[in-house]
Structure 1
């Protein structure tokens, strides 16, 4: 059955891949984006498709449209971008959630919130389970994003309890793939761009901190599976790849795969930067029947090819 699905942040890295996948499945997509970090070129391949529509809009303002389901992905997700205007970041997470929940309530449609592993802060539990409440600095430089997303989750569960809504939450762990912004300061894009340019690979801290990297196609599959769960499924559910790598291992892997002669340079670790990040995906496996299928080496190949092409332009 074809549905008309609203994706806020639809021109972003994840949103554009989700748009393509939903349209390929026969749905209509209304892509809403204010283009702060989203790019028109990310969705250029969908222009002219009769099932795709785009609307420039900031979700901190109400939106009045008719749709059958909503994915709320709008929010800058990398420290460089969300710290550029921290007040606006918090407003996007909180007021954006209120506006999208209000829309879903009026239309009586399911809504999925793209939350984040950052709600766990610098975790004292490893791997991180959904029942863990986190270890977040509420007044630090990352709080605009961490606490904004935590408040959005609060709103989703309060709307569920108070209004009986089909509101769902997924927590997205580090995701990578083509269409990441080359200047977003995230570790995968940073390392690939530096390696391809032959610049020093900047590793913050001693490189022993860990991350788990999920390829974007796997993540999109998990998002769609979450939308299709019965109304009694609320989450939160972790979506990520539990394969765990140190930052140093990632740097060495990317240097080898790009054939770069770049050297690793160590710098001071930023404030509140998490030392470990690994999802427990037992819930995703049991509730959604979902698990990642694309290994890091496999996913890095098209990601490196994408950045190689962009840097050649």
Structure 2
């Protein structure tokens, strides 16, 4: 395969920085685009002197003119704490960002990957969630800026594909964790680990019986690359995540067993529209990409705890 010039929007973020590493390792020229709202320079500092890596500070809600072969559109705050901070900008990032990146793909003939989300399923009435499920989403709630923004972005991707023959790849990403998560992103894995490392009580929302499925970042990035490299007829959307389901109480117990200490569990009210269940049906990923996650939660949590232990000193 010829060397590609690949644009990664949100490339200094948690997922984006790991993707930049993977693409550089395989020989791609990588242009990392980030406005540093949630991305961090520490995530990519090790790449700054690499001749195959270039960093551009830019917001995807404004047009961009580059010559590239491939685009991974990852730009958008993805945790409730961050996307609810400026909900109007969150929607703009998903919708205007998609329009601008699709326009760039159309002009250059680039293949474009959209980092969509399991949040398009909302608080699901189908379990586990398959790609054929249309979702159960509140269009006017506090999570809507993200949920509906990502749903609209998927619409734009498929309309550009049908109307302008743009080559698209749409991935619906389920809960992912690993090194380089933002310590204050409000996500459950980083919350539990940071609270345990600081010796604080661990906050459980609701009764702790709601479930999530956690995919380690290395597994997810492998799926990104496989999907991008797949036959052009495979457009997605394709669920990417780990189908092993855990309650919040089980996750808290695993974190405490790794970190140690004397943290207690405290319970608070469940936030509005917080899904009770989240589990991907990855049948399509298995059959179309020959992919399924291999890192077990205990192993991935150990690596993530090491990262946060070093980060928090």
What's the TM-score once normalised by structure 2's chain length? 0.99
| Aligned-partner SS, 1:192 | helix
Rounded Cα–Cα distance in structure 2 between residues aligned with 1:167 and 1:260: 47
Rounded Cα–Cα distance in structure 1 between residues aligned with 2:128 and 2:258: 28
Equivalent residue number for residue 28 of structure 2: 27
| Aligned-partner SS, 2:102 | helix
1:56 equivalenced with 2:51 (yes/no):
no
Q: Which runs of 5+ in 1 are unaligned?
A: none
User: How far off is 1:135 after superposition?
Assistant: 0.3
Rounded Cα–Cα distance in structure 2 between residues aligned with 1:62 and 1:47: 24
User: How far off is 1:243 after superposition?
Assistant: 0.6
Rounded Cα–Cα distance in structure 2 between residues aligned with 1:93 and 1:292: 27
> Would you say how many aligned residue pairs link Structure 1 and Structure 2?
312
How does 1:149-228 map onto structure 2 within 5 Å?
149-228=150-229
User: How far off is 1:260 after superposition?
Assistant: 2.1
Query: 1:137-160, CA deviations, whole angstroms, 9 ceiling, x for partnerless residues?
Result: 000000000000000000000001
How does 1:127-166 map onto structure 2 within 5 Å?
127-166=128-167
Query: 1:180-213, CA deviations, whole angstroms, 9 ceiling, x for partnerless residues?
Result: 0000000000000000011010000000000000
Rounded Cα–Cα distance in structure 1 between residues aligned with 2:198 and 2:243: 30
Rounded Cα–Cα distance in structure 2 between residues aligned with 1:250 and 1:27: 37
Output the aligned Cα RMSD: 0.5
Rounded Cα–Cα distance in structure 1 between residues aligned with 2:136 and 2:196: 33
Equivalent residue number for residue 252 of structure 1: 253
What's the TM-score once normalised by structure 1's chain length? 0.99
Q: Which runs of 5+ in 2 are unaligned?
A: none
Equivalent residue number for residue 48 of structure 2: 47
How does 1:45-124 map onto structure 2 within 5 Å?
45-124=46-125
Rounded Cα–Cα distance in structure 1 between residues aligned with 2:211 and 2:260: 23
Rounded Cα–Cα distance in structure 2 between residues aligned with 1:230 and 1:163: 18
Equivalent residue number for residue 274 of structure 2: 273
Report runs of 4+ in structure 1 exceeding 4 Å deviation: none
